[in-house]
Amino acid sequence: MRIEDEVKLDYSDVLIRPKRSTLGSRKQVRMERKFEFRHYDNNEEYHYQGIPIMASNMDGVGTFEMADTLGEKGIFTCLVKTYSVGELVGYFDEANAPSWRCQYVAMSIGVKEEDEIKFRNVYEQVGNKLKYVCIDVANGYSQRFIEYVKHFRQNYPDLVIIAGNVVTSEGVKQIMDSGADGVKVGIGSGGVCDTTETTGIGYPQLAAVIDCSIEVKKYGGFIVSDGGVKITGDISKAFAAGSGFVMLGSLLAAHKESMAPIIRKENRNYRELYGMSSTQAMTKHYGGVADYRTSEGKSILVEDRGPVKYTLNKMLGALRSTCTYINAKNIGEIHKNSRFIIL
């Protein structure tokens, strides 16, 4: 046992300091960002152009309906893992599907043998319409996970692989050495995640993003900050800390596109949001919590928020405002133009 005495900060511990800005209007801020991935199957000048926000692969967030609404604005979605092969093939291979669908949507899988079989079945039917895969586990430090990412890269050399989760530079190094393009960062920080309370494991999200972004740049990769975003200002702080993408769960939940049923309570409409390691999720998808494990998530009721487009407008407006305060002409400049002050 040893104690690390270096202070690790979270989003609530800091503010971004304003500075002189030449931007006269929020309209001048460019929201889209371009990325070049380590692995890709063409020679275009850049491989991705869009708003670097990502919908989480949670029930009630990573739905087809959410992906289509976000995709129209150039925002990315990692689909929930629980769609069937038929549903996924129908989605990616749909006649007259919008051209951007293959650019802003990833299929999500775990590390079981059936996950790889499922992916292969979808990929063989839709081909290069499926460009991204999110290999998602709670513990990205597992050797089994690292070997799985390496194996997956060998079998699919041109796919963009996003893998995680980890919270340290060591974890980033292992995943990038295994062939990933991007790393999901965050353990215990999600709004409906109980990992820290249940296990004592975790890491303040801001500190994790800072540490991991430094490491991933050595590989020409990117990180996806996953968790800890409670308010729109936290999105800006995640970009300021070095995130390539910011993944959102709770902020996108309880909208019409979540497809979660309405729950009527005290004359108000609610929708349920739960963590994917919660009792609710494991009961729904796997028949219950296995004897050898425990729930590491919780369930909450969120008041119905209506169509997600209104939330997106507020969210993107807030990001534009952040940029005008620090003279950032686009989201990519938030990182280099930011200075944190500790509260």
Catalytic residues: 193
Torsion of CA 120, 125, 127, 130, to 10 degrees: -70
**Does an H or E element contain 14, and which?**
strand 14-16
* DSSP H or E run through 34: strand 33-35
Chain centroid to CA 182: 11
- In this structure, the strands spanning 263-265 and 245-248 are unpaired
Q: Across the chain, how many H-helices and E-strands are there? A: 11, 14
Residues 244, 32, 326, 219, CA torsion sign: positive
Q: Which residues contact 97 (CB under 8 A, 6 or more apart)?
A: 91
Straight-line distance from the first to the last Cα atom of the chain, in angstroms, rounded to the nearest whole number: 30
- Give the whole-angstrom CA distance, residue 187 versus residue 190: 8
Distances (CA, A) of 181 to 70, 117, 154, 191: 22, 22, 13, 26
Rounded distance between C-alpha atoms, residue 182 and residue 227, angstroms? 16
Q: Which two tokens stand for residue 328?
A: 């950032």
Burial label, 321 (beta-carbon count in 10 A; 0-12, 13-18, 19+) = middle
**Quick one: DSSP state of residue 252?**
G
Rg of the chain's alpha carbons, rounded to an integer?
19
